[in-house]
Structure 1
Amino acid sequence: MIIWLNGAFGAGKTTAAHELLHLLPGSTLFEPELIGDQLRGLLPKERLAEVDDYQDLPAWRSLVVDTASALLAEVPGPLITPLSLLSQAYRDEIFGGLAARRIPVLHFLLQTEETFLRARIEQRAAEDGEAVRTRCLARLPDYDAALPWLTGDAHPVAASRLTPRQTAEALAEGVRRGDGARTIVQTAPPKAATLAAGVLFFDDLDRVLLVDPTYKSGWEFPGGVVEAGEAPTLAAAREVIEELGLRLETEPTPLVVDWEPPGPRSFGGIRLLFDGGLLPTERCSGLRLPADELRDWRFVTETEAATLLRPGGLARLRAALRARALGHPLYLERGQPVGG
């Protein structure tokens, strides 16, 4: 298990984590910042110049999951992780990766009133230097922007008037109660190329339906991996029922067949998109999302989809819209049409 202590920079997460070690037998401190420090020494300066923070590195997010898994094979756990994780997309990627490895997470938010927070930052700056003040204050807007999703995802601990020991005691009580537990679908990482089927639904404004997974970053089309021996159309229909509580009224028609090549973090495979047709407003009121898998759904324009989908998904969407207009499916490789 991982006990993730989130909050603003300077909120006292690390000091509370050290106190919590004494209250939870077998616990071990796990600081992902050390992974970021290692990557700074390993990656070329040109790559580091492309990101504002080590958390923006896919390698860092992947290594956090892999390292936590490796540590829990060596120590009894839990791992106590004091780290500001302010991007919901990065939260989904990391927590989803941990869930895939059957590692549960208790997510806590140390809430500190701004007056107390600034006082703590000043105290740290007096001890560790001006750079600490500059870094912590510069990230306060990021924390404020993250609060809407953080307060809905993490269990709050009001720490303004608590000593580090008292904060740790409140956290230990929360751990015993199971506070902050987040159930996330345990989707095992693929071990070979996969066949996946997605379904596009449209509203009366011709916008397309996308869903927001809780276990990985970015939005997706409804759908999923085709199981062994399963017809892709049946898989598409099954996934739509499981993800949206929606039964297809007719068999979906194919729009896109795309070959996705293997890469450093993916085995690739065949990606299919089917046309689910018009989804009337009255049917949308009956959509039911599995809480451990999907957070939200929305209809979006192609322009809006460009800000939500990963590049491969966006390329497939654009090809699917073209195929729909042409009246016949398109074959793609690497997201690009082949054969006109």
Structure 2
Amino acid sequence: MLVWINGPFGGGRTQSAYEIRRRLPGSVVRDPEHVGFGLHRVLPPALSADFQDLPAWRRSIQEMLDLALTEYEGTVIVPMTVIEPVHFREILGRLRERGHDVRHFALLADRETVLRRPGERGFGRGVRFIAGKGAPLRRERFAVSKLDHCLERLRGQEFAEQVWTDRLTVPQVADRLAASAGLTLTPDTDHALRGRLRRTVIGVRHIRFD
């Protein structure tokens, strides 16, 4: 099974993906952004726009996930924002046409909730900002500029199933997704501090300066 977790920056995609992986033996998290950033490094700067607009990125992701789902027995979890219906159908639609079990979820929340979450996940607000300047990382500035459009687009029927996460913890979101996908997670036995520390580490590891 492929579990694709869609949503805006700050919507909880990555945290939810790793929570499912932690509690679902044999599952793996794969991040298509790595392929996109690799393409950016190969192309001249003038051609390094949104990598999702590159047919090479969409084709690569579809082919690699097809291989993973064909050869790997465990669940593959992909936390990735895709809001263009054509791109969505090109990747997920073709995987479904190949006979794969693809479950898609769009994590949504109010705008204020989404903007607040990055600071809550790190060692205070400074982790998500360039040291001492209070300026968001370039990638985060881009994400914030697209937030309203992203939230509006993901409400569309083509991006079902939508899960509103404003009042849900990360473990609760994982439980909701797993139940909908028919997956059985191990019980969440973490105490609050341990869970927060783990999510902080995940957040720090996924800060990117690309």
The residue correspondences of 1:240-259 to structure 2 (distance < 5 A) are none
Residue number in structure 2 paired with 1:312: none
CA distance in 1, matches of 2:56, 2:40: 11
- Does the 8 A contact of 2:85 with 2:158 survive in 1? no
Residue number in structure 1 paired with 2:40: 40
Residue number in structure 2 paired with 1:2: 2
Residue number in structure 1 paired with 2:163: 157
The answer to whether structure 1 residue 137 and structure 2 residue 144 are counterparts is: yes
Unaligned ranges ≥5, structure 1? 178-340
Deviation per residue, 1:188-228 (Å, 9 max, x gap): xxxxxxxxxxxxxxxxxxxxxxxxxxxxxxxxxxxxxxxxx
CA distance in 1, matches of 2:113, 2:33: 24
User: Aligned pairs, how many?
Assistant: 173
The answer to whether structure 1 residue 106 and structure 2 residue 103 are counterparts is: yes
The answer to whether structure 1 residue 116 and structure 2 residue 113 are counterparts is: yes
CA distance in 2, matches of 1:16, 1:81: 10
Residue number in structure 2 paired with 1:296: none
Cα distance, 1:77 vs structure 2:
2.6
- Does the 8 A contact of 1:55 with 1:61 survive in 2? yes
Alpha carbons of 1:17 and 1:148: their partners in 2 closer, same or farther (altered >3 Å)?
closer
Alpha carbons of 1:71 and 1:152: their partners in 2 closer, same or farther (altered >3 Å)?
closer
- Does the 8 A contact of 1:24 with 1:172 survive in 2? no
TM-score, normalised to structure 2's length?
A: 0.74
TM-score, normalised to structure 1's length?
A: 0.47
CA distance in 1, matches of 2:67, 2:41: 22
Residue number in structure 2 paired with 1:169: 175
CA distance in 1, matches of 2:9, 2:150: 8
Report the aligned-residue RMSD.
2.0
Unaligned ranges ≥5, structure 2? 130-135, 184-210
Cα distance, 1:103 vs structure 2:
1.7
Cα distance, 1:175 vs structure 2:
1.1
Cα distance, 1:74 vs structure 2:
4.1
Residue number in structure 2 paired with 1:17: 17
% same residue:
31
Residue number in structure 1 paired with 2:76: 79
More strand by share: 1
Corresponding residue SS for 1:22: helix
Alpha carbons of 1:174 and 1:163: their partners in 2 closer, same or farther (altered >3 Å)?
same
- Does the 8 A contact of 1:10 with 1:120 survive in 2? yes
CA distance in 2, matches of 1:136, 1:54: 14
Corresponding residue SS for 1:102: coil
More helix by share: 2
Matched to 2:117, the amino acid is: R
